């Protein structure tokens, strides 16, 4: 991995800027909360003063109306007035009868913690004590920083996943480009090999030798074709899935160890399916090779084709050590492998070829200590025009 100091500096600056912005928002919110709380305190002191002077000014209608207006204008702050005789009166909340004495005592303790009670006096005589809580607006404002931080976190998560996805997309394009370039580079020596093989034929060499060389050249051409299709949408044509599966099977059977017992079964003679031959053969080869690796080079490989209504089922079974059920989905993810030198790309490519290109399904049908069965499901065609 290359170290880029410019990118690192930009990330540090962005991180510091984000921290400063969040800190300023929280500081500003906290200042606003304190200011709002002071305003409520001032309102309650005015209310307490009006309550204290109300009795003196009851005969003065104008002043009495002023006090009444002060009382009526405060509709948001819950309060409990405890008179010197112990009686209580509630405002902006349920009545004393609805709350009950025990609930009122709980609220008094709660309000005492939220705000300092206000003593109401008249000419040095204690008349009552006012307990008040935070208004609904103030309570909502108290949780505003948490909601703000949550929004910032979600926004940051969206940006992170966007850049992560974009980076993964760039890496996929890079790998696709490298695969296509590899296919292009293989083309030159392949042409030379074809020419040299023709010269060998002219030298009256054993035909079996040149025939085997041709098979290997065809194999290299198939590999080149596969790599050239990575990253692009392949063309699908109608092919007999039974024939194509058998061709891939026969190729592996002829080139595998004699310790592997191959068997092929099919419930149907032929069935047209939209396939890309090169990629489909690659899929079968990957599944068979994975089975051979799971058996450590010794065991039974069975390829079976079944009909399931409109779908064709291709099953590849081995007698390997099996796959834990918890890993049934994970084995199709890139980089997941049980091999010491494996890249973990085989089954992820198989999944992409079958599900994205051929619109089929692939899954682990069953697995135990006696072996594993992988199943491919492809939609059959009605047409019988096969290549």
pLDDT score recorded for residue 33: 73
- Partners of 316 in the β-ladder: 303, 374
Percentage of the chain with pLDDT > 90? Answer: 19
- pLDDT of 4 > 60? The answer is no
Of 36-40, 66-70, 357-361, the least confident:
66-70
Of 221, 222, 285, nearest to 256 (Cα)? 285
Q: Compute the distance between CA of residue 156 and CA of residue 2 in angstroms, rounded to an integer.
A: 25
- pLDDT of 357 > 80? The answer is yes
Instruction: Specify the CATH number of the domain 5-142.
Output: 3.30.450
Give φ, ψ of 142 to 5 degrees. -65, -35
How far apart are the two ends of the chain, measured CA to CA in Å?
Answer: 47
What are 240-254's pLDDT values in tens digits? Answer: 999 999 999 988 888
What are 256-301's pLDDT values in tens digits? Answer: 888 999 999 999 989 999 998 888 998 998 899 889 988 988 999 9
**Is residue 317 classed exposed, middle or buried when 0-12, 13-18 and 19+ CB atoms within 10 A define those classes?**
buried
Q: Residue 278 contacts by C-beta under 8 Å, 6 or more apart in sequence? A: 222, 225, 226, 229, 234
In SS3 terms, 54-68 reads as HCCCCCCHHHHHHHH
- pLDDT of 26 > 80? The answer is no
pLDDT score recorded for residue 211: 81
- Helices H, strands E: what count in the chain? 10, 11
Query: Taking the C-alpha atoms of 199, 200, 202 and 205 in order, what is their torsion angle to the nearest 10 degrees?
Result: 180
Query: By the 8 A CB rule, do 191 and 238 touch?
Result: no
Query: By the 8 A CB rule, do 274 and 256 touch?
Result: no
**Helices 277-294 and 241-255, axial angle in degrees (round to 10):** 50
Half-sphere exposure of 230 (CA within 13 A, CB side): 22
* Identical fold between 5-142 and 233-379: no
Of 84, 77, 212, nearest to 138 (Cα)? 77
- pLDDT of 109 > 60? The answer is yes
- pLDDT of 124 > 80? The answer is no
pLDDT score recorded for residue 98: 78
Report domain extents, the chain.
5-142, 144-217, 233-379
What are 176-187's pLDDT values in tens digits? Answer: 666 666 666 676
DSSP 178-239: HHHHHHHHHHHHHHHHHHHHHHHHHTT--HHHHHHHHHHHHHHHHHHHHHHHTTS----EEE
Q: Compute the distance between CA of residue 41 and CA of residue 34 in angstroms, rounded to an integer.
A: 10
Q: What Cα–Cα distance (Å) separates residue 173 from each residue in 178, 180, 182, 200, 230?
A: 9, 10, 14, 41, 10
The CATH number, out of the four listed (3.30.565.10, 3.40.190.10, 3.90.226.10, 3.40.630.30), of the domain defined by the range 233-379: 3.30.565.10
Token readout for 344 is 């973990």
pLDDT score recorded for residue 82: 83
Q: Residue 156 contacts by C-beta under 8 Å, 6 or more apart in sequence? A: 18
Query: By the 8 A CB rule, do 129 and 103 touch?
Result: no
What are 331-354's pLDDT values in tens digits? Answer: 887 655 655 554 456 788 888 889
- pLDDT of 362 > 80? The answer is yes
Q: Confidence band (pLDDT; 50, 70, 90) for 92?
A: confident
- pLDDT of 387 > 60? The answer is no
Give 77's DSSP letter.
S
- pLDDT of 378 > 70? The answer is yes
Q: Compute the distance between CA of residue 260 and CA of residue 288 in angstroms, rounded to an integer.
A: 11
Query: By the 8 A CB rule, do 303 and 253 touch?
Result: no
> Is this structure's pTM higher than 0.75?
no
Q: Compute the distance between CA of residue 299 and CA of residue 262 in angstroms, rounded to an integer.
A: 9
């Amino acid at each position: 991995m290359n170290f880029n100091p410019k990118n690192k500096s930009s990330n540090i600056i962005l991180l510091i800027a984000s921290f400063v912005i969040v800190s300023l928002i929280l500081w500003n919110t906290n200042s606003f909360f304190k200011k709002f709380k002071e305003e409520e305190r001032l309102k309650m002191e005015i209310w307490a003063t009006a309550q204290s002077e109300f009795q003196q000014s009851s005969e003065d209608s104008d002043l009495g109306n002023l006090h009444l207006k002060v009382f009526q204008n405060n509709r948001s702050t819950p309060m409990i007035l405890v008179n010197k005789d112990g009686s209580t009166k509630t405002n902006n909340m349920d009545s004393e009868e609805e709350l009950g004495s025990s609930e009122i005592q709980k609220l008094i303790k709660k309000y005492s913690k939220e705000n300092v009670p206000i003593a109401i006096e008249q000419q040095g005589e204690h008349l009552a004590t006012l307990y008040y809580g935070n208004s609904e607006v103030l309570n909502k404002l108290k949780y505003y920083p948490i909601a703000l931080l949550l929004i910032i976190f979600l926004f940051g998560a969206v940006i992170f996943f966007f850049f992560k996805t974009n980076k993964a997309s760039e890496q996929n394009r890079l790998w696709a480009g490298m695969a296509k370039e590899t296919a292009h580079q293989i083309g030159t020596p392949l042409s030379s090999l074809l020419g040299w093989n023709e010269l060998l034929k002219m030298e009256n060499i054993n035909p079996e030798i040149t025939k085997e060389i041709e098979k290997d050249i065809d194999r290299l051409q198939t590999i080149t074709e596969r790599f050239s299709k990575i990253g692009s949408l392949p063309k699908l044509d109608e092919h007999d899935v039974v024939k194509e599966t058998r061709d891939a099977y026969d190729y592996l059977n002829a080139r595998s160890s004699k310790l592997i017992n191959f068997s092929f079964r099919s419930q149907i003679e032929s069935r047209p399916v939209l396939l890309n031959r090169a990629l489909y053969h690659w899929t079968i080869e990957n599944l068979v090779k994975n089975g051979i690796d799971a058996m450590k080079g010794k065991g039974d490989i069975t390829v079976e084709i079944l009909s399931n209504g409109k779908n064709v089922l291709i099953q590849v079974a081995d007698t390997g050590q099996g796959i834990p059920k918890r890993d049934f989905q994970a084995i199709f993810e890139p980089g997941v492998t049980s091999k010491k030198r494996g890249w973990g790309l085989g089954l992820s490519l198989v999944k992409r070829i079958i599900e994205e290109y051929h619109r089929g399904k692939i899954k682990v049908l069953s697995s135990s200590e006696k072996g594993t069965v992988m199943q491919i499901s492809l939609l059959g065609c009605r047409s019988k025009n096969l290549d």
